[in-house]
Chain A
Amino acid sequence: MSAVTIPYKVQLRREARTERLFRVGATAAALLVLALLAGVLLALVYGGWPALKTFRFGFLTHTIWNPVTEQFGALAALYGTVITSLIAMIMAVPVAFGIAVFLTETCPLWLRTPIGTCIELLAAVPSIVFGIWGLFVLAPVLQHWVQPWLIDVLGDLPLIGKLFRGPPFGIGLLTAGFVLAVMVLPFITSVMREVFLSTPRSLKEAAYGLGATQWEVVWDVVLPNARAGVIGGIMLGLGRALGETMAVTFVVGNAHRISGSLLAPGTTISASIANEFTEAVGTLYTSSLIALGLLLFVLTFIIIAAARLLLLRLEARHGARL
Chain B
Amino acid sequence: MIVNLRRRRITAAVALGASGLATLLGLATLAAILWTLFSRGFSGLSLSVFTQTTPAPGSSGGLINAIYGSVVMTLLGLAIGAPIGILAATYLSEYGRGNRLSTVIRFINDVLLSAPSIVIGLFVYTLVVLQMGHFSAIAGAISLGIIVIPVTVRTAEDMLRLIPSSMRQASAGLGAQPWRTITSVVYPAARSGLLTGVLLALARISGETAPLLFTALNNQFWSANLSQPMANLPVVIFQFATSPYKNWQSLAWTGALLITLFVLVLSVLARLISSYFGAGESRIE
Contacts and interface: CB of A to CB of B under 8 A. Distances in A.
Interface of A: 15-16, 18-19, 21-23, 25-34, 36-37, 39-40, 43-44, 46-47, 94-99, 101-103, 105-107, 115, 117-133, 135-137, 182, 185-187, 189-190, 213-216, 218-219, 236, 239-240, 242-246, 249-250, 270, 273-274, 277-278, 289-290, 293, 296-297, 300-301, 304-305, 308-309, 312, 321
A117 B12 CA distance: 26
B163 interface: no
A99 B26 contact: yes
Contact of A19 (B96, B150, B179, B263): B179
A121 B241 contact: no
Interface residues of B, number: 93
A137 B38 CA distance: 13
Given A18-B179, A129-B33, A34 B122 contact: no
Contact of A121 (B16, B242, B267): B267
Given A28-B87, A300-B114, 4 more contacts: A22-B182, A47-B122, A126-B256, A277-B122
A185 B241 contact: no
6 contacts: A22-B179, A26-B90, A32-B84, A37-B108, A94-B22, A122-B30
B222 interface: no
B23 A99 contact: yes
A254 B106 CA distance: 37
Contact of A243 (B37, B119, B214): B119
B224 interface: no
Contact of B126 (A98, A185, A290): A290
Given A214-B12, A244-B116, A106 B91 contact: no
B29 A274 contact: no
Contacts of B18: 98
A187 to B, nearest CB: 7
B152 to A, nearest CB: 10
Contact of B253 (A39, A132, A304): A132
Contacts of B241: 131-132, 135-136, 250
Contacts of B127: 39, 43
A16 B263 CA distance: 43
A63 B177 CA distance: 61
Interface string B93-109: 01110000110110111
A189 to B, nearest CB: 7
Given A95-B25, A122-B26, A129-B207, A236 B108 contact: no
Interface of B: 8-9, 11-12, 15-16, 18-23, 25-27, 29-30, 32-33, 36-37, 40, 84-85, 87-88, 90-92, 94-96, 101-102, 104-105, 107-112, 114-120, 122-123, 125-127, 146, 149-150, 153, 158, 177-180, 182-183, 203, 206-210, 213-214, 217, 234, 237-238, 241-242, 252-253, 256, 259-260, 263-264, 266-268, 271, 283-285
A23 to B, nearest CB: 6
Given A44-B122, A300-B114, A125 B263 contact: yes
Contact of B27 (A118, A123, A312): A118
Nearest to B120: A40
Contacts of A37: 108, 111-112
Contacts of B285: 123, 187, 190
